[in-house]
Amino acid sequence: MQKIGVRCNIRAEAASLLVGENRLRFESIFVLIINKNYMKVAMIGTGYVGLTTGVCLADLGHQVVCIDNNLEKIEKLNQGKSPIFEPDLEELILKNAAAGRLVFSSEIKPAVIDAEIIFICVNTPPKEDGHADLKFVERVAREIAAAINGEYKVIVDKSTVPVKTAEKVKETISRYGRPDAQFDVVSNPEFLKEGTAVKDTLEPDRIVLGVDSDRAREKMAELYRPLIEKTGAPLKIVSVRSAELIKHGANTFLAAKISFANLMAQACEEAGADALEVLEAIGLDERIGRHFLRPGIGFGGSCFPKDISAFKKTLEVLGLDNMYVHAIERINLEASQRFLHKIEKELWVLDGKQIAILGLAFKPDTDDIRNAPALRIIESLKKDGAAIKAYDPQAMENMKKVVSDIEYCPDPYAAIAGSDAIVVCTEWDEIKNLDLAKVKSLMTTPMIFDGRNIFDPAKVKALGFKYFGVGR
């Protein structure tokens, strides 16, 4: 233990004499000497996917440099603070930064020069026509080209991109890079769920590698070997084009299950049946499965809406009928519209009514509000003159940046006090475990619109509430 302490002190003193690129290279060399069995990785982009993947690869023992052009974000990360809420992520940042395996920087060039494997983890937002906007991917590819040297590199498309994107990345690096540059471009799609991203990375149900060369396959297998040996996760090696289609296909299928659940909820409401009973029985069929067969007010987040839109456009480009994907999108939008209609029908005149919105994030255990159904609900209620009081355990700061003219409350009971109705938009445990007797005593009229079916209708009604779920 004493030798380790001396070694760390020497390292700290030596590093303090260096700055910028030289310090980053010193850190790389020092940690590589200690962990010579592990690999040097550059992670370009520190959003949900890039940050979680980079941190978890460092936790496996690899030497990782996470790069982002957002200086404020890099400064925050260097202070050991995560810019996003994700369970266990901040603890792993602190642990691996302290161990010298994890560095944050805004400089691409030194990281690319030193790295064996370079991940591209940038945003691919949808264009107005549904196509994925790949300008950030192209920009990073050009920056890699400007920095790449004669040593062999593996460039990894981790961002969710349309099929044939890897070929464009390869063309870009070849066009703008050195003529003696040696590299392969591979596809390594992610399958992370916000709220369980760390667990999904460290305990994956599969690892998909899209490679077209033996050298790249060996490098990527070496990268993931510690994880495979630790968890036994299956490694699926496919062609690059197949890997690019797998992520869009997987997300479209999962979105289809959610939309099917909401379609069944519509049918159950019209027929006087209970969608939860129906869908539970359907999900017991092992060919179908129970996951994602829960009705609600629609899916949100950054992945499903963006990915199914991009896949719909891919089908169009390939000359295939995309009406199936279009129906998934339409049913998802109708889910929140039908729910709003219930609120409007029951409350009659919304002008002047006070409504408590419980849950703002698109799902629990995240602060992400992108495409959150709560956004659509709030905007519609506001247009009709309702006064909104809102609460979410994590997402209020993000929502304030988008919606400033509603009241944000410090706890759910403050939002409920004096309200004519409660609208549940996110299934946080804190909301599930509310003291309903206290809730009733605080309300002007005891009415719950449960967009996530978190309450038992019989129990709630027995307490004197008017209850409206989805498909119940």
Residue by residue, DSSP assigns 139-191 as HHHHHHHHH--SS-EEEEE-S---TTHHHHHHHHHHHHS-TT--EEEEE----
Determine contact, residues 248/318, Cβ cutoff 8 Å. Answer: no
pLDDT at 15: 45
Catalytic residue status for 425: no
User: 56, 121, 303, 409: which is the annotated catalytic residue?
Assistant: 303
Q: What mean pLDDT comes out for the span 259-287?
A: 96
Q: What is the pLDDT of residues 389-431, one digit of tens each?
A: 999 999 999 999 999 999 999 999 999 999 999 999 999 999 9
Range scoring the smallest mean pLDDT among 40-44, 148-152, 255-259, 328-332:
148-152
The angle formed by the CA atoms of residues 152, 157 and 159, to the nearest 5 degrees, is 155
pLDDT, tens only, 295-328: 999 999 888 998 999 999 999 999 999 999 999 9
pLDDT at 36: 54
pLDDT confidence of 444, banded at 50, 70, 90? very high
What's the pTM value of the predicted model, to 2 decimals? 0.84
CA distance 399 to 376: 12
Residue 419 burial (CB count, 10 A): 23
Residue 28: pLDDT over 60: no
By C-alpha distance, which of 223, 67, 72 is closest to 139? 67
Q: Look at residue 32 and tell me whether its pLDDT is greater than 90.
A: no
- Report the candidate in 450, 433, 445 with the shortest Cα–Cα distance to residue 377: 450
Question: Whose CA is closest to 356, among 392, 397, 309?
Answer: 392
Per-residue pLDDT for 370 more than 60? yes
* Residues recorded for the chain: 472
Residue 326 to residue 323: CA distance in whole angstroms: 5
Distance from C-alpha of 170 to C-alpha of 156, rounded to nearest angstrom: 11
pLDDT at 150: 86
